[in-house]
Structure 1
């Protein structure tokens, strides 16, 4: 991979004199910060092109998204290069990687490692720049740069936001399956840690309206005993969530015995998957965080 990047660095043009260039001037560069417990968004408008934004969602790594106001401005691969800013004469450019547009919209999503490298380059005063040999599908060269002007103070705000993020986002806690040993209903330390995480999220997100707790069993033994065991498992989970401070009236506890296996009960491994309590969060319709 490193050899391929070096090939692109030395064999493909980076300076692109005469290329169509979009980049905020020093006196135009503005960093906007949007903060919450759920995500941190650090963005910059790129005049006449669109926006570039670092998005850091709770429980996830940071990513960078370059969004054009007009579709299909970039149609092929683009070289992501840390270029010297206007106040850094003589500093050589550094190839960070090669990225591609997401779809016909022309949006580029930069993955975590490259996004972190972009943040480091900006902190050093350099300008991460997307270089491509095709603009709107023509052979016209295009450069789209993210200005480092005023970045360091914005980066301080970004770091403060990141330290306040929740440990998980909604997608990571919305559906949870808790497994139990055969014939048992007690909670393990790992289960308690998972329920702690769910409770932390629910307390922060007022849009969570209902918590469904459903107990299940495998088909080993008598059906009525399995139903009773699934009830004990579900009630144990509900009891612990209430102890953590979740409102009992938000929790709907149900139990189903062996009626709804997720896999056939034809092996020890499958029966282990069926001995479970599922915890499902439901939010207000249309809520997006």
Structure 2
């Protein structure tokens, strides 16, 4: 009799336990947040200037992706977001084959950093080139990271290959025609002068012609500082005036080549700022100069 009662209690305990397990609330699966242009609305735009080539693509709801090459600088990829990203984090980048064109994606998974602010993604040449090549062969480029507001979620930024090929061909043509030199190559220039002269010789004119061509291409350069100098031979007052004539000669030639006068500012220092502190002829030749400094 006792055994029957124990068996009944045991069965009742198991039933209660089963009901408790079945009725226990389960966490609902959390879906990833995917930002990607729909097939019918995906667009790529090619944009160029005399010093840059750019491929631009909107990621609806998140921001704008850009492949960008500026003359004299390294090729890179970036995403500007509509809302600032609150904190730094790690991310991964990989290929996905689109459903409408199945293929074998590259198994490579690359790691990168998500940065806080309005430019969360910035890829340098190697990963940017890999991503560009993925799109060129029809793959979807995907960048995934943990949602900063809900760690259960993954955010995926996907670049659609739809309507990519035509602007991509224009982008490649632009790259071939882009000048090799850029701001870093021209930010500082120096023109040398013979003793007691302010006239520009052939080599000085060639240097200034190249600089003027660059300035006429790159509207980002807002100011050009032209500084005239002299060596220590002769009277200080005379050398001050000579350095002014040298600076004005450089300015006049740049204006002659089409550079806007409003961008140019001249200064002259005579012998007060030697490049080399020595009275040797070699040192004095280096001190007879005009320095040209560019600022964005």
**TM-score scaled to structure 2, two decimals?**
0.68
Measured in 1, the distance between the counterparts of 2:285 and 2:271 equals 12
Match for residue 165 of structure 2? 152
1:84 to 94, 97, 100: 97
Match for residue 48 of structure 1? 61
How far residue 199 of structure 1 moved from its aligned partner, in angstroms, is 1.0
Q: Confirm or deny: 8 A CA contact 2:231 2:271 kept in the other structure.
A: yes
Structure 1 segment 73-222 matched on structure 2, within 5 A: 75-95=88-108, 97-105=110-118, 107-136=120-149, 138-163=151-176, 165=178, 173=186, 175-178=187-190, 180=192, 183=195, 189=203, 192=205, 194-204=207-217, 212-219=225-232
What is the Cα-based RMSD across aligned positions, in Å?
4.1
Unaligned runs of 5+ in 1: 1-16, 283-287
Q: Which structure's CA Rg is the greater one?
A: 2
How far residue 81 of structure 1 moved from its aligned partner, in angstroms, is 1.8
Measured in 2, the distance between the counterparts of 1:55 and 1:104 equals 20
Relative to 1, partners in 2 of residues 1:122 and 1:31: Cα closer, same or farther, differing over 3 Å?
Answer: same
Measured in 2, the distance between the counterparts of 1:211 and 1:71 equals 35
Are 1:32 and 2:51 counterparts? no
Q: Confirm or deny: 8 A CA contact 2:88 2:115 kept in the other structure.
A: no
How far residue 227 of structure 1 moved from its aligned partner, in angstroms, is 3.8
Relative to 1, partners in 2 of residues 1:230 and 1:73: Cα closer, same or farther, differing over 3 Å?
Answer: closer
Moved more, 24-33 or 99-108: 99-108
Q: Confirm or deny: 8 A CA contact 1:83 1:94 kept in the other structure.
A: no
How far residue 104 of structure 1 moved from its aligned partner, in angstroms, is 3.8
Matched residue of 2:128: which SS?
Answer: helix
Matched residue of 2:72: which SS?
Answer: coil
Measured in 2, the distance between the counterparts of 1:220 and 1:93 equals 69
2:250 to 219, 222, 237: 237
Matched residue of 2:116: which SS?
Answer: coil
Matched residue of 1:42: which SS?
Answer: strand
Match for residue 9 of structure 1? none
Are 1:67 and 2:95 counterparts? no
Moved more, 266-275 or 82-91: 266-275
Relative to 1, partners in 2 of residues 1:197 and 1:86: Cα closer, same or farther, differing over 3 Å?
Answer: farther
Relative to 1, partners in 2 of residues 1:253 and 1:72: Cα closer, same or farther, differing over 3 Å?
Answer: closer
Matched residue of 2:122: which SS?
Answer: strand
Matched residue of 1:95: which SS?
Answer: coil
Moved more, 57-66 or 132-141: 132-141
